[in-house]
Amino acid sequence: MFDTILIANRGEIAARVIRTARRLGIRTVAVHSDADAKALHVALADEAVCIGPAAASESYLRGDTILEVARLTGAQAIHPGYGFLSENAGFAAACADSGITFIGPPIEAIRVMGSKAESKRVMSGADVPLVPGYHGTAQDLDTLAAEAGRIGYPVLVKASAGGGGKGMRVVRDPADFADAVAGARREAKAAFGDDSLLLEKYLTRPRHVEIQVFADTHGNAVYLFERDCSLQRRHQKVIEEAPAPSLPDDIRRRMGEAAVAAARAVNYVGAGTVEFLYEDGRFYFIEMNTRLQVEHPVTEMITGQDLVEWQIRVASGQPLPLMQDQLVRKGHAFEARLYAEDPQRDFLPQTGRLVRLRPPAENAHVRVDTGVREGDSVTVHYDPMIAKLIVWDETRDAALRRLHRALADYQVVGVTTNVAFLTAIAGHAAFKDVEIDTGFIERHRDDLLPPPAPVPGRGLVLAALAVLMRRHGEARAAARTGTDPHSPWLLATGWRLNDDNHHDLRFLDGEALRTVTLHFRAGGTYEVQVEGEGTVTASSVSLDDGTLTVVLGAERVRATVVMQKDDITILPGAGLVWRLRLDDPAAKAAETEGGSGKLTAPMPGTVVRVLVDEGQDVERGAPLMLLEAMKMEHTIKAPAAGRVTAVNFAAGDQVAEGVELLSIEIEEGKKA
Ligand code: ADP
């Protein structure tokens, strides 16, 4: 067994491999780019080494640098995770040359399976059923067009070196064939540096069913059942499950045996996945992936095995932990891939800081594999996956309910995600009824991607109460830093009562301006009126660590409300996200003043209280003065750390818009 392994990857898979290695008592070495210096996988590893700038081509894909780190840190083996160098035969060969174990299959197996065309030639020799097609070496258009005619339309043009759905074109009409070939070639050349193509009969309603295989160096090979990955968008997996629902047992067994035959045909060792399409009771080999798959956790959940442990044991020369007749499956598991992407804008990848990231609690039923923590950022450099949510239960229905519930509880604020989209799939009747095939998402698009709707009245009420609570908190904080413990700011209402005892808040909901009026009643109760809608009574309002609780009428309501300056994100549950922007002229004015050192009145008003003295040193964000304007109280804050050089007004003074209230000499280098 190894003492030290290096993980040549990042994100959730690096973190996941490190956890197993640690459990096995193996020391771990992480490698990372400059951009990942503070990443989770770096924090989890026993040792971490920076291998280059953010771009993967200069860091995670630098096999030479990674091998050098392995030598320097005494790692005897390298786990490549998935992606990056995991299916790179050249890197596996370089590892062997350096006397370092590549935790993956033999070089020749990677090479053969790396080509969809070559793997098909080998598979047909091993009697593994193939989709009717052409995978010959002749690549001229005439040959391809003739073969397409023989196969019969629709045909699928595929990059032989392909992966991730790239270089793939469906052709329904022979007239479009030449264009599709040219397009697929360009894409394949750009993505894989290899433009050879193959053709397949395009199946119209297949399911994607894949078999997890494992082989060791002692001649043993087993299959750990199947996964159904039919829920795809643009040929990329979205939700996976194990076992494949309503798959006849004899098919399951035959597929498993065919997959083991496929593995044996290439003298396979380690973890691999043999992918099939399944349609009308028949199955067809499409490709083999010679690595651990993203969706391996669903197999772990139903077999109770740790596949990374299996990989490490097999790579160190041990036999498979279990043989075929010892493997049992139990219950049902789902995995959903959470991405920073915008489903409303054609799933465009999103970047930004994960201001709030609270996964559902993990337990025997719920597992979260992630590479990021709250406060981390999703950047342009890498895959925008935030986490994999995996659930398990005794039956498919029970597991699906858990998936739905766990997605609804997942809190992500700061970047737009696909959580609502995933939640809609998990709650869809046709998914529950196993009416699944690779066209599922496209077919149910209208249900799964409803057009953006205005924020409901409830959302505006919650937003207004959250703003109120924030101001309440700010006012109290300001009062605490002041000298007068009997300040009216400490009253239970936390708010200075105006003559008519109400104020208006304006929110931007997309382009629409929407107004909420809060009427103050005794005992911390408010009548909240959303313009054009009814009025509701709100009582027992509190906002604590982003959780707003309130009794609306007779209903107790809880929601997550995150405010980043004027941007308000409300997660009311069920995977929903409501976004509003507080249209606050005072805040805007204060912001534009920020950093200038001069603090001016954002609007005409009255100075309520001065919280600092001339000559006093203040921290960035320290409250300096309270101003009442437009029936609302505003805290004037220090835009940066510095010294107060002038206080121009006293409590009770009337000020005109734009006059300078105070000035600060900002500490060098501390400008906001
Ligand atoms: P990649 O390596 O790019 O992921 P695959 O060959 O694994 O490509 O196929 C990915 C997905 O594309 C499959 O899961 C399936 O949805 C679809 N697909 C592939 N081949 C066919 C086919 N012959 N007919 C219909 N759909 C196919």
Find the CATH number of the domain harbouring 505: 3.30.700.40
Q: Give the pTM.
A: 0.86
- Whether 294 lines ligand 1, by a CB cut-off of 6 Å, is no
Q: How much distance in Å is there from the Cα of 71 to the middle of ligand 1?
A: 39
- Three state DSSP letters for 75-132: CCEEECCCCCCCCCHHHHHHHHHCCCEECCCCHHHHHHHHCHHHHHHHHHHCCCCECC
Q: Are residues 409 and 260 in the same domain?
A: yes
Atom of ligand 1 nearest to the CA of 208: 14
Q: What pLDDT is stored for residue 598 in this prediction?
A: 67
- Whether 163 lines ligand 1, by a CB cut-off of 6 Å, is yes
At 363, is the pLDDT very low, low, confident or very high (cuts 50, 70, 90)? very high
Asked if 293 and 300 count as a contact pair (C-beta separation under 8 A), the reply is no
Q: 149 to each of 141, 154, 169, 392, how far by Cα in Å?
A: 12, 10, 16, 46
Q: Are residues 382 and 276 in the same domain?
A: yes
- Whether 232 lines ligand 1, by a CB cut-off of 6 Å, is yes
Q: Are residues 322 and 391 in the same domain?
A: yes
- Whether 582 lines ligand 1, by a CB cut-off of 6 Å, is no
- What is the tens place of the pLDDT at every residue in 527-566? 999 999 989 999 999 999 999 999 999 999 999 999 998 9
Q: Are residues 502 and 646 in the same domain?
A: no
- What is the tens place of the pLDDT at every residue in 485-503? 454 444 434 344 444 577 7
Q: How much distance in Å is there from the Cα of 165 to the middle of ligand 1?
A: 7
Best residue for ligand 1 mutational test, from 87, 233, 234, 277 (most atoms within 8 Å of Cβ): 277
Q: With 0-12 CB in 10 A as exposed, 13-18 as middle and 19+ as buried, what is 39?
A: buried
The Cα 77–Cα 312 span in angstroms is 9
Asked if 642 and 670 count as a contact pair (C-beta separation under 8 A), the reply is yes
- Considering the chain, what percentage of its residues have pLDDT values greater than 90? 78
Asked if 28 and 74 count as a contact pair (C-beta separation under 8 A), the reply is no
- Whether 238 lines ligand 1, by a CB cut-off of 6 Å, is no
The CATH number that applies at residue 340 is 3.30.470.20
The domain boundary residue, chosen from 587, 606, 630: 587
Q: Are residues 254 and 391 in the same domain?
A: yes
Best residue for ligand 1 mutational test, from 134, 210, 286, 289 (most atoms within 8 Å of Cβ): 286
The Cα 601–Cα 589 span in angstroms is 8
Q: Are residues 260 and 385 in the same domain?
A: yes
The Cα 614–Cα 251 span in angstroms is 83
What does the pLDDT average to over 407-417?
Answer: 95
| 444 in any annotated domain | no
**Which tokens go with 339?**
């991405």
The Cα 345–Cα 352 span in angstroms is 16
Q: What pLDDT is stored for residue 408 in this prediction?
A: 93
The Cα 70–Cα 168 span in angstroms is 37
Q: For residues 521 and 343, which has the higher predicted lDDT (pLDDT)?
A: 343
Q: What pLDDT is stored for residue 4 in this prediction?
A: 98
Q: How much distance in Å is there from the Cα of 569 to the middle of ligand 1?
A: 38
Q: With 0-12 CB in 10 A as exposed, 13-18 as middle and 19+ as buried, what is 528?
A: buried
Residue 213 contacts by C-beta under 8 Å, 6 or more apart in sequence?
Answer: 221, 222, 223, 224, 259, 260, 262, 263, 268, 271, 272, 273, 274
**Which tokens go with 374?**
């709250």
Q: How much distance in Å is there from the Cα of 211 to the middle of ligand 1?
A: 15
Look up tokens 């931007």; give the residue: 508
In this predicted structure, the answer to whether residue 631 has a pLDDT above a threshold of 70 is no
- Whether 114 lines ligand 1, by a CB cut-off of 6 Å, is no
The domain boundary residue, chosen from 410, 439, 468: 439
| 20 in any annotated domain | yes
- Three state DSSP letters for 373-416: CCCCEECCCCCCEEEEEEEEECCHHHHHHHHHHHHHHCEEECCC
| 446 in any annotated domain | no
Does 476 participate in catalysis according to the annotation? no
- Whether 302 lines ligand 1, by a CB cut-off of 6 Å, is no
Cross-strand bridge partners of residue 159: 197
| 449 in any annotated domain | no
- Whether 235 lines ligand 1, by a CB cut-off of 6 Å, is yes
Q: Give 528's Cβ-side CA count (13 Å radius).
A: 27
Q: Are residues 600 and 542 in the same domain?
A: no
Q: How much distance in Å is there from the Cα of 437 to the middle of ligand 1?
A: 12
At 663, is the pLDDT very low, low, confident or very high (cuts 50, 70, 90)? confident
Residue 549 has φ and ψ, to the nearest 5°, of -120, 140
What does the pLDDT average to over 601-627?
Answer: 86
What does the pLDDT average to over 283-293?
Answer: 96
| 393 in any annotated domain | yes
Q: What pLDDT is stored for residue 585 in this prediction?
A: 67
User: Which is nearest to 403 in space by CA: 304, 343, 330, 336?
Assistant: 336
Q: Are residues 429 and 488 in the same domain?
A: no
Q: Are residues 193 and 212 in the same domain?
A: no
Best residue for ligand 1 mutational test, from 169, 203, 235 (most atoms within 8 Å of Cβ): 235
Domain span at 288: 207-439
Q: How much distance in Å is there from the Cα of 286 to the middle of ligand 1?
A: 7
- Whether 208 lines ligand 1, by a CB cut-off of 6 Å, is yes
The CATH number that applies at residue 639 is 2.40.50.100
Q: Are residues 608 and 555 in the same domain?
A: no
| 634 in any annotated domain | yes
Element (H, E) at 542: strand 535-544
The CATH number that applies at residue 80 is 3.40.50.20
Atom of ligand 1 nearest to the CA of 168: 3
Number of domains into which the chain is organized: 5
- Whether 200 lines ligand 1, by a CB cut-off of 6 Å, is yes
Q: Are residues 382 and 238 in the same domain?
A: yes
Q: Are residues 649 and 514 in the same domain?
A: no
Q: How much distance in Å is there from the Cα of 229 to the middle of ligand 1?
A: 11
The Cα 461–Cα 518 span in angstroms is 9
| 572 in any annotated domain | yes
At 410, is the pLDDT very low, low, confident or very high (cuts 50, 70, 90)? very high
Q: How much distance in Å is there from the Cα of 210 to the middle of ligand 1?
A: 12
Q: Of the residues 291, 356, 471, 579, which is catalytic? A: 291
Q: What pLDDT is stored for residue 588 in this prediction?
A: 58
The Cα 409–Cα 572 span in angstroms is 10
Atom of ligand 1 nearest to the CA of 167: 3
In b/e form, how buried is each residue of 88-99, taking b as 16+ CB within 10 angstroms? bbebbbbbeeee
| 672 in any annotated domain | no
